[in-house]
Copies of this chain bind each other. A is one copy, B any other.
Amino acid sequence: MESIVNKVLDQTDVHILDILQKEAQLSNTEIAKQVNLSPPAVHSRIKRLESEGYIIRQVAILNQEKLGFDLLCYIFISTDIHQAEELHRLERALVEMPEVLECQCLTGEYDYLLKVANKNRKDLQDFIRKLNKLGITKIQTSLALREVKYSTVLPIMET
């Protein structure tokens, strides 16, 4: 069927990935012009990049202000759970909470950093209550006052 081994990416592959991570709605024809290939060649490369897992998914980025998500927070949390199974349960709960946009294990004083979107202070309060019920012992919340930059673009063309 198709090769199981992932070949290394050439310059054109990286160029296509870079175009897609900035403007995913472009047609194969437009991308083909930019990378100097025919539309079917671009198409088959994109399908390959998808099947090999370089492209995870395509999303529309929405305007959080216009949709009422005025309360973006970064929350550092720690837990006193140490049993592996219980930790998995905690992480699954965090992943399933739609307000949690990101959850990262970090070096430093706290166990996790959460990026959390809420509509108002009441929703935030409810969210923090939910955290407490999950076995979170230490919480430090920082409010985002202004978004200077928000990007999903990796600097893959710089090297």
Contact = CB atoms under 8 A, between A and B. Distances in A.
Contact of A142 (B24, B63, B113, B147): B113
A52 B62 CA distance: 11
A153 interface: yes
Contacts of A64: 154
Interface stretch (A15-23, A32-40, A131-139): A15-23
Interface of A: 17, 20-25, 52-64, 66-67, 69, 72, 74, 91, 94-95, 98-108, 112-113, 117, 119, 142-156, 158-159
Given A62-B156, A64-B154, A101-B151, 9 more contacts: A20-B59, A21-B60, A53-B63, A54-B66, A74-B106, A102-B150, A105-B147, A106-B145, A108-B142
